[in-house]
């Protein structure tokens, strides 16, 4: 498990990592405390601004940190981090410093106070854009304000949760059907 | 391309198909007209009631049909339908009867007027539960009121869109990490 070398990634292209539906690790910080949660319920909601909707349950310790700091980082882990992805979901930031416990490296963000997770394939710095749906739906609408992604151009072997302890691991990525797209649909 | 034999599937378990983030085909009907759209932006938002959030752009012909009928069916296609998934996204229901054009079989739903697509691996009948976020976010909150899934118990080879004409095809499904989960997390 080692840090992934990343470079800047355009915020308008966040769909390339999030639309396929991977499990993500959400990192947050507030008044010196950091936390990480595992999240499977998220969706792209726009390109410009780059919006992402995330379901963050009120019982999660992260919810308060994110509400107070109005920010988070959405990190995309790959299959080599599967043990940690599960273990992070098994414990609470109320009891544990998750960066320390799991040997993950916090990297300072450039636009938000929440730290990036260096070992993840991609990291997206987010600001809370709309808090009005939190109470009713636990739905956070974030604007991605800065993107970072692995310099390696191959597609990441992401984890996709199917419930009941079962994961689908990302298979082949292909442009086999690309020529069928109407040019303005790309 | 042939119809998939399906049986009833519990609405509280819809995450098993939608949380991994597949491209879906949304079918709708209003006053004798039917339509199908390809959709990649969706998320699970709750178990009971079984809620799914969907981004359906106002420019899509389907949006009006779904707003008026307050219903749709979310169908999960597999890789053998990839050509059709792309072609459906390339044309508009304003010009084309998509069931007819693409040789898909509409099956009557039991709870909603929108038809199921028989050739898909799973189909979820949905009622519009909250229309208040459509105007601002094109966000439809649906309640899944009836589920249908392939009798075959293997995991489907779903398509996951990465933008720019590129798909990830679902790889291995595994319970390798299941024993790591705290029992109450399953």
Predicted pLDDT at A80 = 98
The C-alpha atoms of residue A108 and residue A110 are separated, in whole angstroms, by 7
Asked, for residue B1, whether it belongs to a domain, the answer is no
Instruction: Give the model confidence (pLDDT) of A88-125 as tens digits.
Output: 999 999 999 999 999 999 999 999 999 999 999 999 99
Predicted pLDDT at A183 = 93
Tell me whether residues B155 and A162 touch, CB distance under 8 A: yes
Asked, for residue B99, whether it belongs to a domain, the answer is yes
Asked, for residue A159, whether it belongs to a domain, the answer is yes
Asked, for residue A164, whether it belongs to a domain, the answer is yes
Asked, for residue B28, whether it belongs to a domain, the answer is yes
Containing domain of residue A72, as a range?
Answer: 6-185
In the predicted model, residues of chain A with pLDDT beneath 70 are none
Tell me whether residues A55 and B42 touch, CB distance under 8 A: no
The structural domain count of chain B equals 1
Tell me whether residues A162 and B16 touch, CB distance under 8 A: yes
Asked, for residue A28, whether it belongs to a domain, the answer is yes
Asked, for residue A173, whether it belongs to a domain, the answer is yes
Residues in chain B: 186
Q: What is the DSSP letter of A5?
A: P
Asked, for residue A181, whether it belongs to a domain, the answer is yes
Instruction: Give the model confidence (pLDDT) of B115-128 as tens digits.
Output: 999 999 999 999 99
B32 in contact with chain A, both atoms CB, cutoff 8 A = no
Residues 109..168 of A with a Cβ closer than 8 Å to B: which? 133, 137, 139, 141, 155, 157, 160-168
**Predicted complex ipTM:** 0.97
Buried b (16+ CB within 10 A) or exposed e, B62-71: bbebbbebbb
Tell me whether residues A19 and B42 touch, CB distance under 8 A: no
Q: For residue A86, give the CATH number of its domain.
A: 2.30.110.10
* Cα–Cα distance list, B105 to A45, B20, B36, B81, B98 (Å): 30, 25, 12, 13, 10
Predicted pLDDT at A186 = 87
Which of A20, A90, A171 minimises the CB distance to B162?
Answer: A20
Q: Give contacts of B19 with chain A, Cβ < 8 Å.
A: 21, 40-41, 160-163
């Amino acid at each position: 498990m080692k840090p992934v070398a990343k470079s800047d990634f355009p915020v308008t292209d966040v769909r390339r990592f999030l639309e396929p539906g991977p499990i993500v690790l959400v990192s947050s910080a507030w008044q010196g405390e950091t936390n990480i949660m595992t999240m499977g319920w998220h969706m792209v909601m726009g390109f410009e601004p780059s919006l992402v909707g995330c379901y963050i349950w009120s019982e999660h310790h992260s919810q308060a940190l994110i509400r107070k700091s109005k920010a988070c980082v959405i990190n995309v882990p790959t299959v080599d981090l599967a043990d940690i992805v599960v273990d992070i979901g098994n414990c609470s930031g109320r009891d544990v410093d998750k960066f320390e416990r799991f040997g993950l490296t916090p990297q300072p963000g450039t636009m938000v106070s929440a730290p990036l997770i260096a070992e993840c394939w991609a990291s997206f710095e987010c600001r809370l854009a709309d808090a009005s749906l939190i109470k009713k739906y636990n739905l956070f609408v974030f604007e991605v304000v800065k993107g970072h992604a692995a310099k390696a151009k191959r597609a990441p072997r992401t984890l996709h949760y199917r419930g009941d302890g079962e994961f689908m691991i990302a298979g082949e990525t292909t442009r086999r059907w690309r020529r069928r797209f109407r040019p303005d649909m790309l």
